[in-house]
Amino acid sequence: MARKVGLALAGFVVLTLVAFAQDGRFDASVSFAGTFPDSTTANGITHSGTNGAEIFGTFRFRFNRRSAFAFNYGRGKDSQIYLASSDFHILTNITEYSGAYVFTPFQTKNLETMVFGGIGGLVFDPQSEWIFYNDNTDNPFGINQTQVTIGASKQTEMAFLYGGGVDYRLSGIPIASRIPLSSHFAFRLQYRGLIFKNPDFGVTSISGSIPSLVTNKNGHMAEPAFGLVFKF
């Protein structure tokens, strides 16, 4: 009896999801982005990050034709750089959790434009710490690097997300329109920007030429991205 009830409940859930799917209120996407952090200077320290890449997924629920809410989860990696008399690099895994309101100003059968804005968090997880320094005697290129330990710890910073983009359904492309369910798939091109407080990894004191990693400045990371979307 319990098994029959469980099967009936599972069937009801499946039918409910199918009914929602027919309404076309949801989409899920996987995207790849280039990450391009800017540079800021404060407290005698210039903070920047190396250019890198991020993979992120987005789940979006549409309230109506114009408005939707999106949740994003992403992972990337770069080196956070702190430059003064010494040059510290912290190899860092970066995880993004963010939510955004999405507005669709223009839409046709195959084309959909969007602008979005929201908030979230960036988790900076240090993997290794290095100091780069000049030493023309030991290295003909004038650059040496040594792994160090400065006590960097995982840190989460609030971030503001903004951007815009466009979806174009595969059914609008003559060759791709022959693919089954092509009307449910779309290519997505977008630009994302993230504004956040520069991480200091809790390092408020370092012996040597940099007293700490604290800049108290906001950074910006530009993320042009492309991906594949499934609409249901």
Write the DSSP string, 95-116.
EEEEEEEEE-S-B-SSEEEEEE
The tens digit of pLDDT for each residue in 83-139 reads: 987 788 999 999 999 999 999 999 999 999 999 999 999 999 999 999 887 655 445
Tokens representing residue 131 in the block: 């100091």
Q: 158 by DSSP, 3-state: which?
A: strand
Confidence at residue 12, expressed as pLDDT on a 0 to 100 scale: 42
- Domain chopping of the chain, boundaries: 26-231
The tens digit of pLDDT for each residue in 38-79 reads: 999 998 899 999 999 999 999 999 999 999 999 999 999 999
- Statement: 26-231 belongs to CATH 2.40.160.20: yes
d(CA 34, CA 228): 16
In this structure, how many other beta carbons lie within 10 angstroms of the beta carbon of residue 82? 25
d(CA 181, CA 170): 9
d(CA 26, CA 69): 10
| Better-predicted residue by pLDDT, 21 or 211 | 211
Confidence at residue 140, expressed as pLDDT on a 0 to 100 scale: 45
